[in-house]
Structure 1
Amino acid sequence: MNYSTRLLKFGLIFIGLPIAVFTGYLVYLLFSPPFNATYNHLLNPIVTLMLITALPFFYALKRAYDLLKLIDQQQAFTYVAVTALRQIKQSAIAIAVLYTVIWPLVYGVAEIEDAPGLIIVSGLPIFGSIIIAVFSALLQTLLTQAIEIKSENDLTI
């Protein structure tokens, strides 16, 4: 196992653990009494949708971990890696769509609390997910082209 892939695997675990703790906190918030009953009708859907976004996030982390295992096994230039990148892209798109659904609800909370910065902060996961989706789509295209060039070179004597 290479040092760099081991470091990246540790990084994936380091990213996943705080999100798992935050997801547990969201479950606690969902079943606890509300802080302020004036916007409880907005907070419960926000928390529920945030919990749903944890599913594609952890799926993407698992697929990234699988991709690192493929790199360790010297099988990075295979269609399995392309499939993993496609699934990471789809997970990032799903997260962006779910947070886009959350955004109007956050706007309602920001109106009640008079906190315009909340709208900007809630847009960060959307833009981060879009960046990840575009980057993984780019890597997927490049990897597909590299696999095609490799197969052409394997056929050439």
Structure 2
Amino acid sequence: MKQGTTLFLKIAVILIGIPVLALCIFLVPKIGNFAGELYPDIACMKSLVLIDMYAAAIPFYCALYQAFKLLSYIDKNQAFSELSVRGLKNIKYCAITISALYLLGMPLYYLMAERVDPPSIMPIGLIIIFASMVIAVFATVLQKMLKEAIDIKSENDLTV
């Protein structure tokens, strides 16, 4: 693969991370404060929402880092290696972790959506869960295909 294509993808990975960082800095605290204002009788509501959203950002950035490393392996002609398989496996686990964290936070988002008209918080959470699971399944399929390709390559190398 040409260097320009991977460079474009590396830039895309960075550009994906910047808006999420901006959301974590500017929007997540406002959502936490909003949750605290909706339920002043539940003292830890703000903290729980903040913990859930910031905790989900950690595996997101880990997955972006793994994607960046995969692109570096492609640049070094190491795409068909165990390092790539391990990177895809890490991306899969990060996506599953994001889904699990948002799934655990859904009761909090349900409580917030009960008091907001229209309840736009619930569909956003469900979209994040669904998208993360699609990424996990896709990474699993790629991981298995890459593992099979590595096995075939190693068999061919042994026969020659």
Residues 28, 53 of structure 2: 8 Å contact kept: no
Out of 61, 82, 85, which is 1:82 matched to?
85
2: CA distance, partners of 1:25 / 1:114: 22
Structure 1 counterpart of 2:39, which letter? Answer: Y
2:2 pairs with 1:10: no
2: CA distance, partners of 1:118 / 1:28: 15
Residues 66, 91 of structure 2: 8 Å contact kept: yes
2: CA distance, partners of 1:151 / 1:62: 28
1: CA distance, partners of 2:61 / 2:104: 20
2:39 pairs with 1:39: yes
Aligned CA distance change for structure 1 residues 45 and 15 (closer, same or farther; 3 Å) = same
5+ long unaligned stretches in structure 1? none
1: CA distance, partners of 2:107 / 2:20: 23
1: CA distance, partners of 2:125 / 2:23: 16
Give me the identity figure in percent: 38
How far residue 148 of structure 1 moved from its aligned partner, in angstroms, is 0.1
Over the aligned positions, Cα root-mean-square deviation in angstroms equals: 2.0
How far residue 121 of structure 1 moved from its aligned partner, in angstroms, is 2.1
TM-score, normalised on structure 2? 0.89
Equivalent pairs, count: 156
TM-score, normalised on structure 1? 0.90
2: CA distance, partners of 1:11 / 1:73: 19
3-state SS in 2 of match to 1:61: helix
1:22-37 equivalences in 2 (<5 Å): 22-26=23-27, 28-29=29-30, 37=37
C-alpha offsets along residues 76-109 of structure 1, whole Å, 9 cap, x if unaligned? 0000100000000000000000000111111111
1:43-62 equivalences in 2 (<5 Å): 43-62=46-65
Aligned CA distance change for structure 1 residues 81 and 114 (closer, same or farther; 3 Å) = same
Structure 1 counterpart of 2:112: 109
5+ long unaligned stretches in structure 2? none
2: CA distance, partners of 1:147 / 1:96: 30
2: CA distance, partners of 1:28 / 1:119: 18
2: CA distance, partners of 1:101 / 1:139: 27
2: CA distance, partners of 1:106 / 1:27: 13
Structure 2 counterpart of 1:74, which letter? Answer: N
